[in-house]
Amino acid sequence: MLWNNIKECVLDTISDLVGKDEKRARKPWITQEMISKMDERRKWKNVSTEEGRKNYRRLRNELKRATDNVKKECLENICNEIMEFQRTGRYDLMHMKMKELGWKETQGIQNIGIEDSKGNRIVEQSQVLKIWENFITELYDRPNRPETLEVEPEEEVDTDEKGPYILQSEVEKAIKETRNKKATGDDDVPGDVLKFLG
């Protein structure tokens, strides 16, 4: 409860002094309206009522349809630009436009596959799945592995066995070492602001 009050006060102060920084899309086809819908969808994601699940699915589907259509149109426009650059011999601009799309030469078939126990690279999907199946089976089918893990209630655990408490100095150190301009977490409080608060 105390953290919620502090968080609300910090966010209100930031909003008053600095203003609300609108989220910018990483992809050119994402509009501000889509970002608003993403935020609304995120609010419903962890609501475990029937209404919450229903709203989340509805927003997810609406967003998927909208982004698919706009993304397809945007990519077609970019591809047309690339083809025009190629037709006119502007390979430098063609290359820059392709880099904007995020296509990398390193992506491709060489990154697909897995090594077997003998060190051979396997790319056949059925063989890769078999290797993973064997690995997981071996990992979890060990002798002396308990069938179930019993966890006693916290009240029954001896204080010495609960583990160390988080010290204020540890929290202060973590805040101090937080890198600047990082994305906010679920609480929307930027790490930079926590640093300024001391």
Assess whether pLDDT exceeds 50 at residue 2.
yes
Kindly state whether residues 121 and 192 are assigned to the same domain.
no
Q: What is the pLDDT of residue 149?
A: 67
Count of alpha carbons within 13 angstroms of residue 134, beta-carbon side: 9
Q: What is the pLDDT of residue 108?
A: 46
Cα dist. 133→81, 106, 116 in Å? Answer: 46, 28, 12
In the listed set 105, 139, 173, which residue is the last one of a domain according to the structure?
105
Give 122's strand partners: 114
160 occurs within a structural domain: no
DSSP one-letter string for 68-108: HHHHHHHHHHHHHHHHHHHHTT-HHHHHHHHHHTT--TT-S
Domain count along the chain: 3
User: What is the value of pTM for the model shown?
Assistant: 0.38
Give 115's strand partners: 121
pLDDT tens readout for residues 70-119: 888 888 888 888 888 888 888 888 888 877 766 554 444 444 567 777 88
Kindly state whether residues 117 and 176 are assigned to the same domain.
no
Q: What is the pLDDT of residue 109?
A: 44
